[in-house]
Amino acid sequence: MKNPATMQGLIYMVLAVVFVYFAISQVNTNGWTILTYMMIAMATVNLVTGVKFVSLGLTKKKNDDGPPQ
């Protein structure tokens, strides 16, 4: 694994998609409940964290790919 920050960010984004999927199925089954709001909140946190990790990993990779000295 060459860039663990980028990989971790992608995992967070996948978890966000999973939480959104479960929230949508929960709304279709039972309507809006406190559990649904919690899943959407967790998806938001995971998505923001994932974007930060991916941008950090890409920035780090860009800095590491500089010319050799």
Q: 20-39, pLDDT tens digit by residue?
A: 999 999 999 999 999 999 99
Q: Is 23 domain-assigned?
A: yes
What local confidence, expressed as pLDDT, does residue 1 receive?
A: 57
Neighbours of 53 (CB within 10 A): 21
What local confidence, expressed as pLDDT, does residue 36 receive?
A: 96
Q: Is 67 domain-assigned?
A: no
Domains held by the chain: number = 1
Q: List the beta strands (DSSP E) in 1-69.
A: none
User: Residue 24 is encoded by which pair of tokens?
Assistant: 């949508």
Q: Is 26 domain-assigned?
A: yes
What local confidence, expressed as pLDDT, does residue 32 receive?
A: 95
pLDDT: is 63 or 19 the higher one?
19
Answer yes or no: are the C-beta atoms of 46 and 16 closer than 8 Å.
Answer: yes
Q: Is 64 domain-assigned?
A: no
Tell me phi and psi for residue 32, to 5 degrees.
Answer: -80, 115
**Domain residues for 14?**
4-52
What local confidence, expressed as pLDDT, does residue 42 receive?
A: 96
Q: pLDDT confidence of 67, banded at 50, 70, 90? A: low
Q: Is 35 domain-assigned?
A: yes
What local confidence, expressed as pLDDT, does residue 5 receive?
A: 87
Neighbours of 12 (CB within 10 A): 19
